[in-house]
Structure 1
């Protein structure tokens, strides 16, 4: 059976290295987009709807038209993230094609298997046409399931040698190439083909 699969894009980089700006450009043409937005940054962008309660989020994801929804949760983040991931899976499975952005994953996952609804989303969401942009400053502290299921890796400047070595080992990108990245520079590797693009610089 042929399916219109989504993509899981794993994006790594130190603070202010260009991750969010890259994701903003990459998702510019997505018509239905749901963000996990613990830093309240996507919600500040023009055209985005800021939601802060579970009821608001669930109501928003049931809409069938174009949408850009940012969930700015309070309280304990891990259970709110689990609820967000469940809503994304629901929207993609029962409402219509959708893409999602998951920021700061090291804050809500661990190096173990992806938990709860997030695990379901990264393991089963792609075959339902859900594209996932998974972002973390330190993937060595975030879940291994997203890294293992990635369609592609986008790597920006890293903050430590440990992060460089971890990403080189997990992605197959040359360690020296990662270590040499400057602010706003990134390298992209297709996890399916193994092809690594030349280093690029983010343009605004």
Structure 2
């Protein structure tokens, strides 16, 4: 059976290094997006609708066609993230393929195996056409499932132990990671084995 697989982008870097801005450029042309938005920033992007309740999210994801949703949840963030991932899996599997943006993953996962519906999404979602942008300031504090299943690694400026951790996971040289300045990035593609560099310009 032939499928159109999604891609898993693992994005790392310190606060304000350019992670979200880079992701926004990658998804600009996408028509169906759900963003896990704990910092309430994707909801401010033109074209996105802010969703704050489970009922509203569940109703929205059942509809086919274009949608750009930013789920800004309160309360138990880990439970809300798990619910959001379940909605993404449902929408991608039973409605239409889509893009999922997961911000601040260290807040809702642990360094062990990806929990609950996030783990299911990582292991089964890609083959159902769901593309994922998994974003964290510190991947040493986020889950190993995303790191292990990544299609590509996108690394922005980081410091300290984060440089050595991402080097071990991506094989990008320590010197290259450590030399990155704000808005500069290096991408390692696991499929093509290519490493590219760039800098965001505004």
Q: Which bin holds the TM-score, normalised by the shorter protein?
A: over 0.9
Counterpart of 1:70 in structure 2 is 70
Correspondence for 1:182? 181
> SS of 1:135's equivalent?
strand
Q: Distance in 2 between matches of 1:108 and 1:170?
A: 20
Q: Which residue of 2 aligns with 1:58?
A: 58
Cα distance in structure 2, aligned partners of 1:192 and 1:146? 15
Structure 2 residue matching 1:154: 3-state secondary structure: strand
* 1:76-119 C-alpha deviation (Å, 9 max, x unpaired): 10000000000000000000010110000000000000000000
CA distance in 2, matches of 1:17, 1:189: 18
Residue in 1 that maps onto 2:127? 127
Residue 30 of structure 2 aligns to a residue whose secondary structure is coil
- Cα distance in structure 1, aligned partners of 2:190 and 2:107: 25
Q: What TM-score does the superposition give when structure 2 sets the normalisation length?
A: 0.99
1:80-159 equivalences in 2 (<5 Å): 80-158=80-158
Corresponding residue for 1:169? 168
Distance 2:46 2:191 in 1: 34
- Give the RMSD, CA atoms, in angstroms: 0.7
The equivalent of 1:200 in structure 2 is 198
Cα distance in 2 for partners of 1:123, 1:97 equals 16
Deviation of residue 194 (structure 1)?
2.1
CA distance in 2, matches of 1:6, 1:127: 6
Q: Mark the runs of 5 or more structure 2 residues left unpaired by the alignment.
A: none
**Aligned equivalents of 1:157 and 1:175: distance in 2?**
12
Task: Give CA-to-partner distance per residue, 1:56-78, whole Å, 9 cap, x none.
Answer: 00011111110100000000100
Shift of 1:6: 0.2
Q: TM-score, length-normalised on structure 1?
A: 0.98
Q: Are residue 22 (structure 1) and residue 22 (structure 2) matched? A: yes
Aligned residues: 202
